[in-house]
Amino acid sequence: MSASSQAAGRLASLTSWDSDWSGLRVVVAGIGVSGFAAADTLIELGAAVVVVDASQTERAQAQADTLRIVGAQDVLLGPEAVARLPKVDGAWPDLVVTSPGWRPDQALLAEAACRGVEVWGDVELAWRVRQRRGKKTAQWLAITGTNGKTTTVGMVESMLRAAGLRAVAVGNVGTPILDAIREPVEYDVFAVELSSFQLHWARSVSPLASVVLNVAEDHVDWHGSYESYLADKARIYENTQIACVYNAEQVETERMVEDADVVEGCRAVAFTTQTPAVSMLGVVEGLLVDRAFIEERRDHAAELASLEDLGPGAPRHMVANALAAAALVRACGVEAAAIKRGLQAYGPGDHRIQTVATLDGVAWVNDSKATNPHAAAASLAAFRPVVWIAGGLSKGVEYDDLVARHADRLKAAVLIGRDSSALAAALARHAPDVPVIVVGPVHTEGDRPSGEAVMARAVEIAAEHATAGDTVLMAPAAASMDQFESYAHRGAAFAAAVASIGTGRTGSEDRGKE
């Protein structure tokens, strides 16, 4: 039997924390949040672990020192460390566990594939170790989508807790699922946010219920094509046990469910912001209702909550997120009253259509989480007139449809990002009368480009174009990593820049919103 066949056989047997992980040779690709959690877990399990990362920052060095102390065989940092697959204990590894951001064509991962070395993501590893002798195993409710994941995960967590269940939001939301599994708390349910990157490397996961909230062109540079992106999103439905929840207003998600290989007896349940048919959740006369998880669903609907429970003037996408969350927890047996309490208790997180100030009648809104055109469209649709701060790492997407649909809302556009040419070209084609100002790199101490300085300049320019009744909306429609550490860093830079010009009187935060 070949070495790769032996490794495959052993990996197939690793289905719980109590399986024999000792001596398993593993390379962990990445030393960030998820990579560190994966390496730490594998070391605790007794595997021989080598960690690699291109970063040589102080934080990476500190993480490396910690992993060496707890028992990593080696930690290799720097660009050369990720150029090829390292050996572990003098032999090729049995397994590579990769961090979500690593593309499949990255040199180390590509070599692993050529050598027949299996590659898992942190989510696959988490599923394999979720069961532990003497400890309760949490059910998984899995959430993905181009937009709205974090909001929906937060709503699910709030609803579950309102029902008296021990629940926590994990995954792409920020808390590594491996850390939650290793906590002493015996959780009943995990609300698991999954990115398309994480789903690409997940094979064994079998959630209680799952949902694709929506899909739009995104991360084409990582996946290679929109079709491949959709295929990875669709993985969330594989092996689902109770309910595959889909968006009735987007046929792509319904097709994903139709094509999924699920556990026998699993149901397809839709959500819609319109009047629901049988086996759907939807809206009737201002009420969120359920026609899927009740016995008399052919003739009746169960009231879950009201639109007012989402807060005043909740936009359509927020209603859709609430219905998707409700469908997931209903699959988990949660009563209607807990859904209402959960929505009332839920507060949206930072950086998602967040009003940071209203100065001299101008509302300043931070939507740094709008990292693609689909997300930016949702926030642009909520305001007029808009001075739009946008741009960043485009991820290979197009902007024509976004600009064409919302050109009449734009008073001016201020473009950031190292290369805003695609967005500038779309504005020239579809909004030729809108002033467009491009903010180039701003150099600060040490002559290094500064994201904070770029944002400060963008805010200054936006302030020059905005008058009372306008909204300055920072909805980049692009990723942040070209000039910032993360979307949160970008949002914080925007809020800080707005605070620095905050010399006017604060007025109504709802001004300018539709």
List, in sequence order, every beta strand (DSSP E) within 291-344. Answer: 302-306
List the structure tokens of 391.
């741009």
* 505 Cβ neighbours under 8 A, 6+ residues apart: 359, 360
Q: Two tokens at 424?
A: 């500038």
Q: What does DSSP assign to residue 402?
A: H
Instruction: Name the β-bridge partners of 438.
Output: 415
- Both tokens of 327, joined, read 């469908």
Q: Could you tell me which of 370, 350, 353, 366 has the C-alpha nearest to residue 476?
A: 370
Distance CA 413, CA 376 (A): 13
- Could you say which DSSP state residue 477 is in? S
CA distance 199 to 389: 31
Is there a binding annotation on residue 135? no
Give the Cα separation of 241 and 263 in Å (integer).
Answer: 5
The β-bridge partners of 240 are none
Report the distance separating Cα 30 and Cα 38, nearest Å: 9
Contacts with 492 (C-beta within 8 Å, 6 or more apart), sequence order: none
Distance CA 283, CA 276 (A): 7
Beta bridge partners of 472: 364, 387
60's tokens: 């990476």
Residue 148 is labelled as binding a ligand: yes
Q: Is 503 marked as a binding-site residue?
A: no
CB proximity list for 288: less than 8 A, separation 6 or greater: 281, 282, 303, 304, 305, 306, 307, 309, 319, 322, 323, 326, 339
Beta-carbon count within 10 A of 485 CB:
12
Binding site, annotated residues:
145-151
Binding site, annotated residues for ATP:
145-151
